[in-house]
A and B are shown apart, each in its own frame.
Chain A
Amino acid sequence: MNRLALFVPLALFIGLSLVLLLGLDKDPTELPSALVGEPFPAFNLPSLEDEQSTFTEKDLKGDVLLVNVWATWCFACRIEHPMLNELSQQGVKIVGLNYKDQRVSAKAWLVERGNPYQFNIFDAQGSLGIDLGVYGAPETYLVDAEGIIRHRRVGVVDERVWNAEFRALYEQLTGAKQ
């Protein structure tokens, strides 16, 4: 018998170990997004601030902006909020999608913690949430001037995530526009 053939099981074992080792670094809760590169889904929903007025996907066009899915029942949103305030001060345009929330408590939240949003879409039933494939708040989408989703983050956007995932793409998109 060929002596080299004796090493085949060892080679297989090492190969499998490497594959599993690489898998350890992956976050299993992070789903691949079906919407990156696609236009923002159509919607027609009321404003959080003013019940009478409504927004549609056309209101998201014209500027590079972040769409942030948040709710007062969402604990991680509390952690994220100061970062959104800071980004908004730096001139980043952020649109809020208030997801399955109460109007009164959502408004109180914005008074209490500051309002980083250009405007807020009020999605009480979570219908736009389903169209976006939202499965947990907070989620943040980077939408370009044509209304195409360029990046999606499920979970908190903090300094580290902003620098690693958003900053370069955001600067590229806004720079290209000017």
Chain B
Amino acid sequence: MRLMALFTLLLSSLVVASTEVVEFSDESLRPRFQQLVEELRCPKCQNQNLADSNSPISQDLRREIQRMLEQQMTDQQIKDYLKSRYSEFILYRPEVNKSTWLLWGSPAVILLLGLLIAMRHNRQKPLATASNSASAADQQRLAALLDDEVNQQ
């Protein structure tokens, strides 16, 4: 029971630690803030987004994003602002450009390739079965052999 109480205490402190109060003058900004901090990457702790990270730089950038939202900047303007400072690395969803077209295009290319292979494979199938089927003489031999087998038993 005491252990249980201790555990609950620990749990509640965790909850307090992870919530950061963000105040907005206009509540409609909150979903946009949430969307942005989830889509932007923490430059220091590379496998976390700004929403998940507790590093000082993420705290600063969250504050900065909040400030920009309050200044009526659009999402694109905010992303451009951060991109010009932290490079494209900060975008978890990279933009389509010269260096990323392969990344964006490869799923479609691979899908097309797969479809092509599947189509060719299907077309070859009847041919393959035809060549594998035995001739009439072979069929007779096979039947005779099978008969022998059955008779011996």
| Pairwise interchain contact B60-A31, C-beta atoms closer than 8 A | no
B64 within 8 A of A: yes
| Pairwise interchain contact B85-A31, C-beta atoms closer than 8 A | no
| Chain B contact patch, size range | 10 to 19
A-B contact count (CB 8 A): 37
A35 within 8 A of B: yes
Do most interface residues of chain A lie in helix, strand or loop, or is the interface mixed? loop
Interface string of B54-97 (1 = CB under 8 A from A): 00110011001000000000000000000111111100000000
A17 within 8 A of B: no
| Pairwise interchain contact A100-B56, C-beta atoms closer than 8 A | yes
CB contacts (< 8 Å) of B43 on chain A: these are 31, 133, 135
CB contacts (< 8 Å) of A136 on chain B: these are 44, 57
CB contacts (< 8 Å) of B64 on chain A: these are 130
Contact A34 B60, CB 8 Å, known A28-B46, A133-B43: no
A177 to B9, CA, bound (A): 65
Q: 8 smallest A-B Cβ distances: which pairs? A: A135-B43, A133-B85, A34-B87, A133-B86, A32-B87, A135-B44, A31-B89, A135-B57
